[in-house]
Amino acid sequence: MTNSPFADLLLPHIAALEPYTPIQPFEVLSRQLGRAPEQIVKLDANENPYGPAPAVREALAAYPYTHIYPDPEQRELREALADYAGVPPEHILPGSGADELIDLVCRLTLAPDDAIIDCPPTFGMYSFDAGLTGARVLRAWRRADFSVDVERISESANQRISESANHESRITPKLLFLTSPNNPDGSLLDPADLVRLLKLPLLVILDEAYIEFAGLEHSLARWVLKYDNLIVLRTFSKWAGIAGLRLGYGIFPTWLMPTLWKAKQPYNVNVAATVAGLASLTHRAEIQRTVDALIVERERLYRALADIPFLHPYPSRANFVLCRVEGRSAAELKAALAREGILVRHYAKPGLENCIRVSAGRPEQTDALLAALTSVAG
């Protein structure tokens, strides 16, 4: 592949990208593990195991217009989202998952020699999408308790020169990515830190993918109305149980909206996602019962993991618990659980050495995990 005479046609920064390690499809895993999909306890991707509300499935089944292109302006969905998020629809842009909006914001703002400020350990898509544009990633590491380090971020924001092995170049930091609750630890951003960070000459993207699990009262979405440099991203993937349909949305300052409308793919949100999103908002009280059940399970999971001598869990406001593994290999622990049909996420990245992340599941899934951990420990 790389030795084709046409390989030179690729942009060098794209050809040099690190390969992305995707999650294996469910069917592939099921074959590898020799277990039927319904026998697999999938706690590795923070999906809602209860799936969509029955009314959402019914709305999808009854939808008659799959042969017609979607509304490029998503008017009905944006009205419903405005009510849900507490901001006027003029500020809202739906996307094919929040992931699409991260990519869109990067493509609107970044060129090679621009930079983003990433606050690892955190979600991987910010540095991935920045890399696609050729921009640099400046890393302002979080503290040991996963809180953001405002001083480090400010230093990065003022960094103008980058020194690499054989040359130095001028760089312009433009975007700051923050996540609340943060993935993979589940901590909330302190609003006082955000106030300070919004004073920097940066566009701040606050990713609230898990905010429903912290409680919507912790959402800072309405701050977009008073700060011209704040974007808030949200998604239906985690709370509403429709990760496979791909629906997210951004809340943007008004000055940015005309450019977003011009730059987005006209039919970026498909009709199935729209129908499911609308039905989810109509039936949100029903979905909230699964969110409440997952919060109960998260707390039970945290307490049970804390009782296991080789695990050190971190408190979480999302639908997962990050756990440091002590005195044994997290990679081996993940593999041993997989042999029992239980999938968890394993990390070996800086700041997440020897860690696993476990999604909150149904009570019987927590039971299966805890039983497997006991037998693995024995």
Q: Which residues bind ligand PLP (CB under 6 A)?
A: 97-99, 123, 179, 183, 207, 209, 235, 237, 243, 248
Residue 341 · residue 306 · CB < 8 Å: no
Closer to ligand PLP by CB, 47 or 373: give it: 47
Closest CA to 214 of 181, 261, 259, 176: 181
Q: How far is the CB of 264 from ligand PLP (least distance, A)?
A: 15
**88: which 2 tokens?**
């006027």
**Identity of the residue, 237 or 268, whose beta carbon is nearer to ligand PLP in the bound complex:** 237
Q: Report the residue number whose CB is nearest to ligand PLP.
A: 97
What burial class does residue 253 get, using C-beta atoms within 10 Å of its C-beta: 0-12 exposed, 13-18 middle, 19+ buried?
Answer: middle
- Shortest distance, position 54 Cβ to ligand PLP, whole Å: 22
Minimum gap (Å) between residue 207 Cβ and ligand PLP:
5
Alpha helix (H) ranges present in the chain? 12-15, 26-33, 54-62, 75-85, 98-109, 125-133, 150-158, 191-197, 211-214, 257-263, 271-282, 284-306, 330-339, 363-377
* Cβ nearer to ligand PLP, comparing 30 with 179: 179
Give 25 or 258: the residue with its C-beta nearer to ligand PLP. 25
Residue 209 CB, nearest approach to ligand PLP (Å): 4
Structure tokens at 80: 């419903």
Q: Shortest gap between Cβ of 84 and ligand PLP (angstroms)?
A: 15
Spatial contact of 304 and 370, defined as CB atoms under 8 Å apart:
yes
Q: Which is nearer to ligand PLP, 129 or 297 (CB)?
A: 129
In 10 A of CB 195, how many CB atoms? 12
Identify which of residues 124 and 315 has a Cβ nearer to ligand PLP in the complex. Answer: 124
Give least dist CB 168 to ligand PLP, A. Answer: 33
Map tokens 């909230």 to a residue.
Answer: 288
